[in-house]
Amino acid sequence: MRAILAAAAGLAVLAACSAPTPPRSAAPSPTPTGPAVLPAPTGPHPAGTTVLYLKDTSRPDPWNLDAAARELKVTLWYPAEQGAGRPAPYMSAQESELFMKGSSIGGVPYDTLSKTRTNAVKDARPAGRKLPLVVLSPGFTKPLSSLTSLAEDLASRGYVVAGIDHTYESHVTTLSGGRVAACLACDSDTDPGFGAGVVQGRAADVSFVLDRLPSAWDGAGRIDRSKIAMVGQSIGGASAVAAMVNDPRVRAGIDMDGTTYARIPKSGLSRPFMFLGSAQHVPGAASAPWERDWKLLTGWKRWIVMTGTDHQSFTDIPLLAGALAIRPPHGQVPAARAAELTRTYVAAFLDQHLKGRRQPLLDKASPRYPEATFCPAAC
């Protein structure tokens, strides 16, 4: 399990390992750049967003032994009707503070991330009919908001996105009534079988959300329930495998840089799946689970490694680095480029497998995106 985010000192060490250390006078400490601004969505539709609070009374919470039911916060993004409105907050000031403290980020005001500028309008009226649904799952200790840029872009391209904050698995999750849940699971992440347990719990969260969404959201009639995919980063990506094995409603999946834990049956998994990762997932490196699962993916599949990325490149974290006065690791693709790569390849996969629009980008290397290497053959 990889940590959510290195502190500024940790990133400085990463940079020093990649290049000779310059004289101290030549490398002043970075200063905050002001509020982070998420890149504008690339699709033709304005994006809206709203929040649901759901309670699964059929099972106890796996982390809080005092909770007889599993409570979840679900954030929806969707194509919206044209109209004025205020963009939704990225985080509240309290969420920003708890996230930064949990991630050991200091040196800037704790409310910094609450000032991040988003694009989706809060509680905007949904638009469109029969839209595919994409379930999003974040990495361990990270709130769902760390995937906001991708979610907004997918909404602008004509998808409904249901992002799940998996309660007690993040440094902060705000529940109904403003109650705040801390990361109870953080004390267990070295236990044997931890990863396998997390992905099974998240798969149960996904199935519950798919069960409840039609009755919980007024706009759910716009969803084509025959076209559902799941996308996740880190253990959220690993959970996409578990969700697909457990729930046939999930028709396609993407694992963004997550070491997998759920076992695929020997009969194989015939639904479309894509691994999208950093150099740590080149075959023969630290990607043994990917190589194991690759052999059991019997349908359409891709394994794409992005040169110049790291574990967080598939999230908003690089986009927030300037506001947090964190220097990116040496040799890493710029944050805007990382976001473009993630958005482009995720959308291409979903367009092909949920909308039936063939995407030549997924067939071979592209001169427009030279960072993308198709594995295992080209690695």
Query: Is 8 a member of any domain?
Result: no
pLDDT of residue 154: 98
CA proximity to 147, closest of 234, 214, 52 = 234
- Mean pLDDT over all residues of the chain? 91
Helix, strand, coil share of the chain (percent; to 5): 35, 20, 45
Query: Is 11 a member of any domain?
Result: no
pLDDT of residue 254: 98
With tokens 């361990």, the residue in question is 140
pLDDT of residue 64: 97
* Structure tokens belonging to residue 83: 């109209």
This model's pTM is above 0.85: yes
Reported as a single tens digit per residue, the pLDDT across 266-305 is 999 999 999 999 988 888 766 678 999 999 999 999 999 9
Reported as a single tens digit per residue, the pLDDT across 109-145 is 999 999 999 999 999 999 989 999 999 999 999 999 9
**Would you say 233 and 272 are in contact if contact means Cβ atoms under 8 Å apart?**
no
Query: Is 26 a member of any domain?
Result: no
Query: Is 272 a member of any domain?
Result: yes
Question: Is 20 a residue whose pLDDT tops 70?
Answer: no
The whole domain housing 238 covers: 33-375
Query: Is 252 a member of any domain?
Result: yes
Query: Is 307 a member of any domain?
Result: yes
Question: Is 14 a residue whose pLDDT tops 90?
Answer: no
* Structure tokens belonging to residue 185: 């699971």
Which pLDDT band holds residue 32 (cuts at 50, 70, 90)?
confident
Query: Is 27 a member of any domain?
Result: no
Query: Is 194 a member of any domain?
Result: yes
Residue 336 CA, distance from chain mean position:
16
Number of structural domains in the chain = 1
Query: How far apart are alpha carbons 300 and 275 in whole angstroms?
Result: 12
CATH number, position 247: 3.40.50.1820
